[in-house]
Each structure stands twice: as structure tokens, then as C-alpha cells.
Amino acid sequence: MQQCSGKMSNFITDFFTYETTKSVVVKSWTIGIINRVVQLLIITYFIGWVFLYEKAYQVRDTAIESSVMTKVKGFGEYNNRIMDVADYVTPTQGASVFCIITKLITTENQVPGYCPESELKFKCENDSTCKKLMSKPSSNGLLTGRCVNFNVTHKTCEIKGWCPAEIDEIQPDPMMEVENFTIFIKNSIRFPRFNFTKGNFLPNINSSYIKQCKFDFESNMYCPIFKVGDVIRFAQQDFTTLAKKGGVIGIKIAWVCDLDKAHDECKPAYSFTRLDAMSEKTTGTVLCDIILLNFLKGADQYKAKKFEEVSDSHIKSNNSLYRTRDHSQHSIKTDENFSKDSGAFSIDRYS
């Protein structure tokens, strides 16, 4: 009993004791300089990076609310017809996504009825051929299973639909006036967390400025009116190619606002890109070359086909041969070891 009470007394005494750290001052230039440099780096990191650059003390709102209204203006001539907005813009004006039609294939006097298919892939000799093609969904109407005369030279399968069937293999010239059309964009945003609202109509934009401005990155970077040709050029695309083949161009409006500053400092930043562009093949080609030349079985043989080593004797002999030709543009004959390979070597083909 006495032993138990002694342990309890020691526990209470230890529990209510106070410990304090002991500082030792080391008078060493080396240790002192290292200590102050580390402290300075830590202070610089927090002040420079965390507070000034990253602004970690700020509250951020990424749930931005945005509305976009667009309007296209311009007139063009196509197939001896004057085209206005109602003819070449779809859907109707005002949507954030719209399509400007640059080429139009018109099939005059179409009426519902029966007629031969216009596409050659539905060419036939008899009705049995057409019955086999009835499951194809790419026809211009409902296939009836009959083989009828398309013209005096060949037959095609008959369809039920709008006749005559559209011939979309023709290549009409695009409406080049589209390059000078203008796009008006009105964008309003709101940061709900701060109840902050802003639009791309800045305070210095008035009616007289709107009537004459066109967006550019140098003098009118906040003008909300964009020339179609400029938009395509800013996206690093060729207008003629897009007008013939089509494409999807995106206009991005970025709002990165620091509300610690004046509200007038919150301004939009426009960028332009092509959204449907094919991905570059370079990266995939390089990666495939690395795998082919280093990891696959027979890599040495592939390297021998792809790379060619040219010695100094080859260069000297070729140069002397070239000089004896009196600087003419004749081809230079090399020895039999010279590779005639173009560099593109097919290993196999896909099934």
C-alpha cells in the first residue's frame, strides 16, 4: 500500500513539473552564416513567392458565371445571289456557338418522290445488288431495292426522298467575302463569391469607338468587334483553306482579376485557337523511332536501313567529281555502297 502511494506521489510530482529549452550560443562564423542564409531563404520564399506572387492570403473564386451574345455582320455574293446573315449564319443570331457557311451546294427544284441515288457507291447492275445495300445508312433517302437508270451510261439504286438527289461531289468556290465579315461579342461575367460583375465593354468604350474599332493585339486589344479574317490569322490558320474545307475556331475570353486592385483593372484577355486541328505526327514519329531502333527485335537491321554513315573519302571524292563537271547541274554518281533508301522504310502493313 505504501509502495503504491509512493508511485502516485511521484507521478503527480512529475506531471506538474515545468521544462524549458536551453540555448547554447555558438560563436562560429561558418555556422552563423549558414544559419542566417537559411533564414533569409525561408523569409524570401514566403514573402516573394507565397505572398507576392501566389497571393496565398487571397480568397479565390473559380465558379465564374458567364453569358455570351454574338452577332455577325456582312454581305456576300454566292451563285449570283446576295447572301445576308439569315442565309449564311446558323443557328440564329445571339448564340455563343455559331456557324458561318462559306460553301453551299444547292439542288434546285427538289420535291418528295422516287429517283436514282446520285452517289456512285450505289451503282448497280440489277435489283439484287440494291437489296444488299439497303442496310447502308449513307444514302440520300430510303432505298427501295430497285436498280434504275441514272443516266445513259450506268444505273444506281432507287431512293424515296427529296428528288433529284443531291450531288455533293462537286467543288464550288467558297464565298470569299466572309473574310471581311465582323463578329460582335458581348460577354458578361460574375464572381458570385464576391458579388462582382464585369463585362467586356470597358468604361472607355463608347458608341463612336464601337463604330470604327476592330480588334487587334496592339492598339485595340479590348475592342469587342472581330474581323473574321483576323480571327483566323490570330489562330495561325489560312483563310482560303478553311473556307474550302471548313474548321472550328475558338475565341477564348480569359478573366483573371485581382480584386485587391481597382475594378477597372479587371480586363478580358482574348486568345484564338483552332479546336479541330489534327494533332502533330512528329511526337508519335519520334517515339516510334526510339522504340523501333532500340527495343524491338532486329533493331540493328532497322538502324542499318535508316542511318547511313558518310566517310571523309566519300565527301572528298564527291567534291572532286562535282568540280570536274564545270559547275553543271548534272547528278553526281557515287559508289555502290550509297544508300538509295528515302528514309521511310516499311516494316509491315496494317491488316
DSSP assignment string, 78-128:
ETTEEE-HHHHEES-TT-SS-EE-------TT-EEEEEE--SGGGEESSHH
Q: Which H helix or E strand runs over 241?
A: helix 239-245
How far is residue 220's CA from residue 212's CA, in Å, rounded to a whole number?
Answer: 11
How far is residue 237's CA from residue 218's CA, in Å, rounded to a whole number?
Answer: 20
Q: Where are the domains of the chain?
A: 28-57, 68-100+178-274, 111-163
Band of residue 193 on the pLDDT scale cut at 50, 70, 90: confident
Q: What is the pLDDT of residue 335?
A: 37
Per residue in 42-57, pLDDT (tens digit) is 888 878 887 777 666 6
Q: Higher confidence at residue 18 or residue 245?
A: 245
Q: What average pLDDT does the structure give for the chain?
A: 77
- Across residues 127-155, what is the average pLDDT? 88
* C-alpha closest to that of 250 among 275, 269, 225, 229: 275
- Across residues 297-305, what is the average pLDDT? 57
Q: What is the pLDDT of residue 326?
A: 42
Output the nine-digit C-alpha cell for 127.
435489283
Angle between helices 282-294 and 299-306 (to 10 degrees): 130
Q: What is the pLDDT of residue 185?
A: 92
- Across residues 331-344, what is the average pLDDT? 35
Does the domain at 68-100+178-274 match CATH 2.40.50.110? Answer given as no
User: Which of 3-17, 158-172, 181-195, 281-295 has the largest mean confidence?
Assistant: 181-195
**Which residue shows C-alpha cell 439569315?**
86
Handedness of CA 35, 36, 40, 41 (dihedral sign): negative
How far is residue 58's CA from residue 56's CA, in Å, rounded to a whole number?
Answer: 5
> Tell me, what DSSP letter sits at residue 51?
I
Q: What is the pLDDT of residue 350?
A: 35
Question: Cα 180–184–187 angle (5° rounding)?
Answer: 150
How far is residue 186's CA from residue 190's CA, in Å, rounded to a whole number?
Answer: 14
Q: What is the pLDDT of residue 349?
A: 34
Which of 22-36, 175-189, 231-245 is predicted least confidently? 22-36
Question: Is 36 a residue whose pLDDT tops 60?
Answer: yes
Output the nine-digit C-alpha cell for 204.
472607355
Q: What is the pLDDT of residue 228?
A: 93
Q: What is the pLDDT of residue 3?
A: 63
pTM: 0.59
Q: Higher confidence at residue 29 or residue 313?
A: 29
Q: What is the pLDDT of residue 327?
A: 40
Contacts of 184 (CB under 8 A, 6+ apart): 70, 71, 72, 73, 224, 225, 226
